[in-house]
Amino acid sequence: MNYHITTYGCQMNVADSRRLASDLETLGYQPVSRAEDADVIVLNTCVVRQQPEDRAVNRLLSLRPVKEREPEKVIALMGCLVGVRDPTPALSRRFPFVDVLMAPSDPRPLVNYLIERQARELDEESRARQEALQDGRWRLPLRERGKLVSAHLPVVLGCSHACAFCVIPYRRGPERSRPPAEILAEARALVAQGVKEITLLGQIVDRYGLDLPAGKVTLASLLRQLHEIDGLARIRFLTSHPGWITGELLETVAELPKVCEHIEVPVQSGDDGVLRAMKRGYTAAEYRRLVAKIRDVIPRVAIHTDLIVGFPCETEEQFQRTYDLLADLRLDKVHIARYSPRPETLAARKMADDVPAEEKERRRRTLDELQAGIAAEINGRYLGTEVEVLVEEKDKGRWRGRTRGNKLVFLEHDRDLRGRLVNVRIQWAGPWSMQGTAA
């Protein structure tokens, strides 16, 4: 019995696929490299933009003849194309050859489907495997066991914000914080299997615990609990929201040695009119003050952000304010996306997608060129200095790892450096990565 999972989209989907792979292996399935060779074929989908949605749908349709040839194969669809609200009728009409639909972060429908199937051929071994699933003995999938150095760990599922452009609340549902005990158990299980760095995930990770019994836990207090885990070298968290980052959280990052000086806080636009239309809930001036505060509280912090260009009604002047904000703040990394209308969102329902595609692309390229210059200048400051790198894996004959500020570093070395913290003297620096030698 074997399985294949194709994962599209964000780190949350990567973590969900890892969880599902672990459950399938506990049920006795082995991973295979080609979907067509698997008994259980899973697509974990993303619809945050039109392009990833089209890729997933095309791949799914390409599996129809496989199912028609071998009807005993199980085809399962997961993630944001499914969403949290029961899409079964619509999706079953659209993809009648799909056996199981799973909402984001919920592998149970497929696991239960396979358990029922196994129940028909129930033998001792299957019974033992099903019991292992119940007792939470979570193990990394075979392919990652003993190899995975850095893992993502969802702590807040869904989002209760309603940014005008974003489909996530409609597909992942309202925000739900996972119980701290469950998170700590999963973190210990990861560290026991060789993981050295854990990145806590949430659409607005700073809101962790706000939906749990009052005052019980916050992201800052969760970081303190995780910090006590022996063998865990580094902790990160993403994604923050300018409206929810607290002074307590920033102080905790500055105080706890294992928590990296790296903050991911999307700004999305540098213009107040566009931010209002996006329903982001802050102004450009407030964002600038937040960046100054983060840099004041956390020395040497690396700040990453997200930006959308070509949002409905964005004028050249408004775009210029985004350009000026980036030029002034000189952030470490910027993910730039062209606006694409997403189904159900306020922007898609109420606002015309009036910025031409070529103009969106011109604005994206303009910001990309600006940021390439800024990133090259920032990374250039590391030349001749030593940085601490957590080495993750070998990549084309070179070891690959990241600094505490999440900067990519390559180095050559004969020894097996996987999972080691290495001091690296930087000899080359470009906008997107650096190279050096072990000091």
Is the distance from CB of 42 to CB of 72 less than 8 angstroms? no
Tell me the C-alpha distance between 333 and 363, whole Å: 17
171: Cβ contacts below 8 Å, ≥ 6 apart: 47, 79, 80, 81, 82, 83, 84, 104
Question: Should residue 161 be labelled a site residue for ligand SF4 when binding is judged by CB under 6 A?
Answer: yes
Nearer to ligand SF4, 162 or 313 (CB): 162
CB of 399 to ligand SF4, least distance (A): 34
Phi and psi torsions of 15, nearest 5°: -65, -40
Nearest to 366 by CA among 282, 310, 408: 310
Kindly identify the residues of this chain, within the stretch 175-204, that bind ligand SF4 according to CB under 6 A: 203-204
Q: Which stretch binds ligand SF4 (CB under 6 A): 12-20, 27-35, 161-169, 314-322?
A: 161-169
Nearer to ligand SF4, 43 or 168 (CB): 168
CB of 48 to ligand SF4, least distance (A): 8
Question: Should residue 171 be labelled a site residue for ligand SF4 when binding is judged by CB under 6 A?
Answer: no
Kindly identify the residues of this chain, within the stretch 294-333, that bind ligand SF4 according to CB under 6 A: none
Tell me the C-alpha distance between 333 and 406, whole Å: 10
In angstroms, the first-to-last Cα distance of the chain is 47
Question: Should residue 166 be labelled a site residue for ligand SF4 when binding is judged by CB under 6 A?
Answer: yes
Kindly identify the residues of this chain, within the stretch 199-218, that bind ligand SF4 according to CB under 6 A: 203-204
Kindly identify the residues of this chain, within the stretch 230-259, that bind ligand SF4 according to CB under 6 A: 241
Question: Should residue 77 be labelled a site residue for ligand SF4 when binding is judged by CB under 6 A?
Answer: no
Considering only 20, 168, 195, 375, the residue that binds ligand SF4 (CB under 6 A) is: 168
Nearer to ligand SF4, 241 or 404 (CB): 241
CA distances from 186 to 31, 239, 302 (A): 22, 20, 27
- Looking at the DSSP bridge assignments, the partners of residue 408 are 402
Is the distance from CB of 84 to CB of 172 less than 8 angstroms? yes
CB of 339 to ligand SF4, least distance (A): 12
225, containing H or E segment: helix 219-227
Considering only 169, 180, 202, 270, the residue that binds ligand SF4 (CB under 6 A) is: 169
Kindly identify the residues of this chain, within the stretch 121-160, that bind ligand SF4 according to CB under 6 A: 159
Phi and psi torsions of 247, nearest 5°: -60, -40
**Strands 176-177 vs 262-264: parallel, antiparallel or unpaired:** unpaired
Question: Should residue 269 be labelled a site residue for ligand SF4 when binding is judged by CB under 6 A?
Answer: no
Nearest to 111 by CA among 192, 22, 234: 22
CB of 162 to ligand SF4, least distance (A): 6
CB of 88 to ligand SF4, least distance (A): 24
**Strands 398-402 vs 386-395: parallel, antiparallel or unpaired:** antiparallel
CB of 160 to ligand SF4, least distance (A): 8
Nearer to ligand SF4, 308 or 390 (CB): 308
Read off the tokens for 333. 């990394």
Residues interacting with ligand SF4, by CB under 6 A?
159, 161-163, 166, 168-169, 203-204, 241
